[in-house]
Structures are given as C-alpha cells and as structure tokens.
Amino acid sequence: MEIRFEKSSHLKEKPDQKNLGFGKYMTDYMFVMDWDKDKDWHDARIVPYEPVTLDPACVVLHYAQETFEGLKAYRTAEGKIQLFRPQMNARRMINSNARLCMPAFPEEMFVEAVKALVKVEEDWVPSEPDTSLYIRPFMFATESALGVHMATSYKFMIICCPVGAYYATGLDPVKILVEDELVRAVKGGTGFTKCGGNYAGSILGQVKAEKLGYAQVLWLDGEQRKYVEEVGTMNIMFKIAGEIYTAPIEGTVLPGVTRDSMIHLLRDWGYKVNETRLSIDDLMKAGHDGTLEEVYGTGTAAVISPVGELRYKDDVVVINDGKTGELTQKLYDTLTGIQWGKIADPYGWTVEVK
Ligand SMILES: *Cc1c(COP(=O)(O)O)cnc(C)c1O
C-alpha cells in the first residue's frame, strides 16, 4: 500500500508523561483512507491531525454506521516499539463491519497502516512506567443522503494518544453494579461488534451506577437478565472454587483480545477455564458462601481491573476483602510483562514496529 505523507508545519508540545490520563492528548498526525463503491479503498495518507468536515446529511450522523477498535503501542526498556496482537483487532473490525454492512478493511492493510502511523509518531510513544500510545482505528459512513441504507462511501481513520498508567498506585479494585433493568445486547444484535451505537445505549446504565457510587456496570443477558455477560468496555472473569468462569462468545459479548490472551495464560498455568453462562444468582451465592475467590475485568485500556464489590439489587458481596487477588495480580504482571517486553513472549503476540 502506498501511503502519502503530508508534513505538519507545526508540531504540538508533548504533555507531561506523568499526567497523561486517558484520551486527552492527540498526536500530530492521523491516518486516513477512503472507500467508495467504484474505487474501493484508495488514497491512503498520513496527514496533520485536524477536524473532519461532514455534510449535515452524512449517514453516520443519523444512523450511526460507525465501528472502531482500540489497541496500544508499547515502548520497551531497549527503546523498541511493539504492538500487541494487532491482527486480532483487524479481524474483529472486519467482523464488526460485516454486521453493519460496511466494507472490510483488509487485515494486512490495517496492520500496515497502524505500523506506519506509529512509526511517524514514534516520539509520542511514552517511556514512563506503565504508559503507552493508545491507537484508535475507526470507520464511518460519509455519504450524504437521508434514508437508512448501505452507504456508498466510507472513511477509515486512525488517531493516537499517549496514555498513562490506568491506576496511579498499582491495581485498585473497583465496585461494580449489576444492571437488572437496562440491557446492552441481545442475540442477533450488535453486541459482538465494537460499533458506536452499542456505547451510546450503555451510558444510561453507567450514569445510574455512578449515582449509586459504583464505577461500572455489569450487564446481564438481554433476554432473561439472568446470566452475567460483560462490563461496559471490559470482559469479566470470575474465579470460583479454583476454576475460572467467563461468558461465552456467542454474539452478545465482545470478543476481547485481552480476554483471549488471559484464557491462553490461564490454561497454560493449568486452570480450568469455563466459557459458559453463569447465572447472577449462582454468582451471588458463590459470593456469600465464600467460593467466589476473585473477580476481574479484562480490556486493553486497563489490562485487568480487579473487582472488590458486586451489587445486585439490594444484595452486596465483597470479594477477597476488597483487595486485588493473587491470580489477578499474576495475570496483570505476566500480560503487561509481555506487552512491555520485560518478559519473554512465548506466544508470538508482540509485533515490532521499530
Ligand atoms: C473493547 C471492549 C472489550 C475489551 O476488548 P479488548 O480487545 O480486550 O480491549 C470488552 N468489552 C467491550 C464491550 C469492549 O468494547
């Protein structure tokens, strides 16, 4: 793929690496490529970061034909820059797009575009402990025409932002509210895709949780509100009597790259991982009879997020005294060790950019 490069006349000042937060500082450049019915994908370019101009009748503004991805570039102690399983993000986006009737952005092009942009922005990949460059590929319908239909033109873009350590002082367990009224996804819907609409529909649940003093929502299945599925932007795993439980990938749950990687690690360590439906009643029961040992969310942003408390209706369980569990910590140390090149990567998960 030929990528045109347009140099910026003004580079931004880099933010303090100790106060990056998440998603606040965008880098100098972005990758853009266009698709239309007659020309397929064309005009790959890396250009100065700038606003996108859209016609008010643009399809995405009315019918939310939009998908996205999220991955990171990590700087190793030796100054190398590496990605973590970017092919999985590429394939997931192809699956998301297929569900939304959007054209596929081919896997090799996806990885090549990410690498090219990260190379241009290599000075933006931070070096402070636990920092990284968050990469956000996304795609949306650009055609201007009202009426719900498959659009005739789309844009694929990638933007990046340096991000800080998710937890300022090590892993910090969060409190989670089980949502018993609103639902996130149903079979046959778009739950397995990373499409903008899924998140628009989830904000009300998040607002409700925050009002009650909870950090996140745990969604139940959309049909019976009986089985645990996932958290807002994380998959979730439970350690019950020594075995791991997590919701199966059957159309309603997002197939997380972190989830898949943790399952690999856990099985290699000899754990039984049950990708099966777990009812909220059985989960709360395990919380009360002492067999619920650890709970953690998994996702690219935080890697692992220990859960210290679960509330379902008026029932509350505290997990592991509200402290980070041993296995949770080991998973975090191992996965981040591989991502930052601190420990060997026997799985071939890391992809070198430079
Ligand atoms: C992105 C996301 C995840 C986590 O996926 P990763 O590939 O591990 O980052 C889980 N659930 C939802 C709803 C998500 O949007």
pLDDT digits (tens, 9 = 90+) for 8-21: 999 999 999 988 98
For tokens 């019950």, the residue is 240
- Could you tell me the pLDDT band of residue 82, with boundaries at 50, 70 and 90? very high
99 three-class SS:
helix
Output the pTM of the full model. 0.97
Domains in the chain, start-ordered, CATH in brackets?
4-163 (3.30.470.10), 174-339 (3.20.10.10)
Ligand 1: atom nearest CA of 191 is 13
Whole-angstrom distance, CA of residue 245 vs CA of residue 254: 16
- Size of the chain in residues: 354
Give the strand pairing for 303-312 and 174-178: parallel
**Spatial CA neighbour of 171 closest among 305, 337, 308, 52:** 305
Ligand 1 centroid – CA 276 distance (Å): 18
| Ligand 1 atom nearest to CA at 184 | 13
Mean per-residue pLDDT of the chain? 96
Q: Which of 132, 163, 192, 194 to mutate to test the pocket of ligand 1 (most atoms within 8 A of CB)?
A: 194
Q: Which residue has the tokens 């749950």?
A: 253
| Pocket perturbation via mutation, ligand 1, pick of 135, 254, 264 by most ligand atoms within 8 A of CB | 254
Q: For residue 258, what are its two tokens?
A: 């972190």
Give the pLDDT score at 171: 85
**Residue 208 pLDDT level (bands cut at 50, 70, 90):** very high
| E strand intervals along 195-291 | 216-220, 228-231, 234-240, 243-246, 273-275
> Which atom of ligand 1 sits closest to the CA of residue 194?
15
Provide Rg for the chain, Cα atoms. 21
* Model pLDDT, residue 128: 92
CA-closest candidate to residue 322, choices 300, 298, 294: 294
Token readout for 295 is 């709970």
Distance 233 CA to ligand 1 centre (A): 5
Q: Strand, helix or coil at 98? A: helix
Span 220-224, mean pLDDT?
96
pLDDT digits (tens, 9 = 90+) for 44-65: 999 999 999 999 999 999 999 9
Kindly report the protein residue whose alpha carbon is nearest to atom 2 of ligand 1: 233
- Over the stretch 269-303, which tens digit does the pLDDT of each residue have? 999 999 999 999 999 999 999 999 999 999 999 99
User: Rounded CA gap, 118 and 297, in Å?
Assistant: 27
What is the pLDDT averaged over residues 72-95? 97
Residue to substitute in 72, 84, 91, 233 for testing ligand 1 pocket (most ligand atoms within 8 angstroms of CB): 233
Rounded Cα distance between 267 and 285, Å, is 26
Cα(353) to centroid(ligand 1), Å: 23
- Spatial distance between the Cα atoms of 347 and 240, rounded to a whole number of angstroms: 27
Pocket of ligand 1 (CB under 6 A): 70, 194, 230, 233-235, 254, 256-259, 298-300
pLDDT confidence band for 85 (50 / 70 / 90):
very high
Q: Are strands 132-141 and 71-75 parallel, antiparallel or unpaired?
A: antiparallel
Report the atom number in ligand 1 closest to the C-alpha of 261.
Answer: 8
pLDDT, one tens digit per residue, over 188-200 is: 999 999 999 999 9
What's the 256 CA to ligand 1 centre distance in angstroms?
A: 5
Residue nearest to atom 10 of ligand 1 (CA): 234
pLDDT of residue 169: 65
> Given the CA of residue 89, which atom of ligand 1 is nearest to it?
7
Question: pLDDT, tens digit, for every residue of 313-328?
Answer: 999 999 999 999 999 9
What's residue 172's pLDDT?
Answer: 87
Instruction: Dump pLDDT digits (tens) for 266-276.
Output: 999 999 999 99
Q: Which atom of ligand 1 is nearest to the CA of 298?
A: 8
Kindly report the protein residue whose alpha carbon is nearest to atom 3 of ligand 1.
234
Give whole-number Cα distances, 46 to 161, 242, 325, in Å: 15, 49, 43
Does the structure show a pLDDT above 80 at 157?
Answer: yes
pLDDT tens figures, 86-130 = 999 999 999 999 999 999 999 999 999 999 999 999 999 999 988
Tokens 């997990």 belong to 319
pLDDT surpassing 80 at residue 27: yes
